[in-house]
Amino acid sequence: MAMTNPKNSGPSEPTGSPQGAEATPTDSDPRTRSRPTIKDVAARAGVSLGTASRVLTNHPATSPAAREKVRAAALALGYQVNLRARSLRTARTNAIGLIVPDIRNPFFAGLAQSIQTEGLADGFTVFIASSQEDPDQQDQHLRTLLEEQVDGLIVVPLGGMTPMLDRLRDQQIPFVTVDRTLDGLKAPSVDADPLPGVYAAVEALRDLGHQQIVYVGSLLGSSTGRERLLAFDNASDALLSSTSRMVIAAPLDGDDWLRELDSFLGDGATAVLFGHSRHALRAFGHLRDAGRAIGDQGISLVSFDDLDVFSLLTPAIAAITQHPEQLAGRAMAMLSAMIDGERPGSQRIETSLIPRESLAPPATG
């Protein structure tokens, strides 16, 4: 299986030409220079696209300092608001919708909090809904949010296209997907590349002396679940022998998979990498109840998503972080750009390993 070098992977930059408020340079011959865009103004002023847009359209939800910086940047660049484009976008509610799969999941709860914070800073009220990993509930929430005439949507999509997702795509309603992607949706997305973090985890385990590693995967029907498993396969192909890795497909609910984990550990596996934090916590308690050592001279554990509780356990659980604050910030910036008529490109954020005490050498002898 082909191996991607994680050190060369990283978030791609937005692509595409802005389609929002156009500008006319004050230069006497505009053919001698490119036309400045609202993105150029925001970058020069050091503010978000949403803030720059609100200042330039005289929205009240701006600070005096932001207005001064944006107007100075626009003057320096020779930017002028296209009044015709602006008139097409005046019917706004200054509200957006966010749909996550499970608000009980600490990762999605944190992501929602960060998006709400970013949204409020950009002048948007954020309506939050949880689909409970159910496509019908997802569509019901989408329908309700559109009836409320939100300006745009941020969605963590489930495993396949649905009637309401078709409607979003066909009617070109501003929306961004975050954390997961969906073939056929044709929407800009921001998600985390699992390979750098997984590669670092497998490499660290190998260097500590672990020769057999178990991967516990979940939600394999989602883009996130599939990519994490593929990342483990790629890292294992590069760093381990073909007989040194085992895979368990674990449902979110139920504990039957723990018997399979016990079997692998009984056959000599000394480390476990979890694709979902819920399974890591369940396995931590199960191993403790069984009297197995975790961490130094015991079973090493590494899990996706850096939950607050991971650092409070003894030993603390090593984590692969997706940097949810960055995901939230970029998703909100992309949606603001779309609401303003631009067409941002998709982006990826590199995952990274956070070593803790549960990442340690195995027992010897």
Domains of the chain (ranges; CATH) run 18-87 (1.10.260.40), 95-190+324-348 (3.40.50.2300), 193-323 (3.40.50.2300)
- Tokens read off for 138: 């997802």
Q: What sections of the chain are H helices per DSSP?
A: 38-45, 49-56, 64-77, 83-87, 106-121, 135-147, 163-170, 194-208, 223-239, 257-266, 277-289, 324-339
Overall average pLDDT of the 289-302 stretch: 96
11-49 CB burial, b ≥16 within 10 A, e <16: beebeeebebbbbebeeeeeeeeebbbbbbbbebbebbb
Dihedral pair phi/psi, residue 267, rounded to 5°: -90, 5
Q: Is the pLDDT of residue 171 over 90?
A: no
| pTM above threshold 0.95 | no
Distance CA 41, CA 35 (A): 11
Residue 245 neighbours by CB under 8 Å, 6+ apart? 212, 213, 214, 215, 232, 233, 236
pLDDT tier for residue 186 given thresholds of 50, 70 and 90: confident
Q: What is the reported pLDDT for 19?
A: 36
Sheet arrangement for strand 300-304:
245-249, 213-217, 271-274, 300-304, 318-321, 352-354
Mean pLDDT along residues 90-117 = 92
Query: Could you give the strand order of the β-sheet that contains 347-350, starting from the edge strand earlier in sequence?
Result: 125-130, 95-100, 152-155, 175-178, 189-193, 347-350
The pLDDT of residue 289 is above 90: yes
pLDDT band at 320 (very low <50, low <70, confident <90, very high): very high
pLDDT surpasses 70 at 31 = no
Across residues 309-316, what is the average pLDDT?
97
**Model pLDDT, residue 213:** 97
Residue 7 has pLDDT above 50, yes or no: no
Per-residue pLDDT at 62? 75
Is the pLDDT reported for residue 361 higher than 60?
Answer: yes
pLDDT band at 14 (very low <50, low <70, confident <90, very high): very low
Model pLDDT, residue 10: 42
Q: Which of 20-24, 40-44, 70-74, 283-287 has the highest mean pLDDT?
A: 283-287
pLDDT of 30 strictly over 50: no
Rounded to whole angstroms, how far apart are CA atoms 361 and 300?
8
Q: What is residue 57's predicted lDDT score, i.e. its pLDDT? A: 73
Average pLDDT over the chain, rounded to an integer: 87
